[in-house]
Amino acid sequence: MTKAIYPGSFDPITNGHTDIIERSAGMVDHLIIAVLKNNAKSPLFTVDERIEMIKKVTSHLKNVSVETFDGLLIDFAKKSGASVIVRGLRAVTDFEYELQMAQTNRVLAPSVDTIFLTTNLKYSYLSSSIVKEIAGYGGDISEFVSPYVEKMMKEKLKGRDTV
């Protein structure tokens, strides 16, 4: 049984993330979406809110579960019995950092491999930060996130001037 982990901040989950989740879930027996708890970036949504949104958006995928982790990803991978880490690559700008992480993780845990899925072209520009910025200025984010995430974003930003 192949178990994989898709780690990230998911603050919030976008259609780009969902694309990677749907595609990678089709390749493995079980996919754990691992939400990073101790984030250096100060997140807009709490971990619980992020998990709730991910669960809603992926409820059609029966072999996907959502968990949180802090500390080293590789420790979480070992603990969960996962042998694969999934990451998405949008552009060359993602590549250098991702390569460094994958190589470091491979030294730390040779039994865990990282696979990269290149983004669907229509989401190659998309990031959680851009979505927050657009929403913060009152823009329409319906092309970028699911209706549920759009609703959560509206609630979160109510009463705030900008993100």
> Active-site residue numbers?
17, 41, 90, 128
User: What residues from 28 to 87 belong to the interface with ligand ADP (CB under 6 A)?
Assistant: 87
Q: Which of 5, 69, 76, 90 binds ligand ADP (CB under 6 A)?
A: 90
Residues in the chain: 163
Q: Helices marked H in the chain — which ranges?
A: 15-25, 47-57, 73-80, 92-108, 128-136, 147-157
DSSP per-residue codes, 81-101: T--EEEEEE-SHHHHHHHHHH
What is the C-alpha separation between 29 and 100, in angstroms, rounded? 27
Q: Does 132 bind ligand ADP (CB under 6 A)?
A: no
Which of 4, 17, 43, 77 binds ligand ADP (CB under 6 A)? It is 17
Q: Which is nearer to ligand ADP, 128 or 161 (CB)?
A: 128
Q: Which residues on neighbouring strands pair with residue 114, listed in sequence order? A: 85
Cα–Cα distance for residue pair 47/54, rounded to 1 Å? 11
CA distance 115 to 138: 36
Closest separation in Å from C-beta 20 to ligand ADP: 5
List the one residue from 47, 66, 126, 153 that touches ligand ADP (CB under 6 A). Answer: 126
> Whole-number minimum distance, CB 99 to ligand ADP, in Å?
12
The region of 52-60, 106-114, 118-126, 153-161 touching ligand ADP under the rule CB under 6 A is 118-126
Q: Which residues bind ligand ADP (CB under 6 A)?
A: 8-10, 14, 16-17, 20, 87-88, 90, 94, 119, 123, 126-128
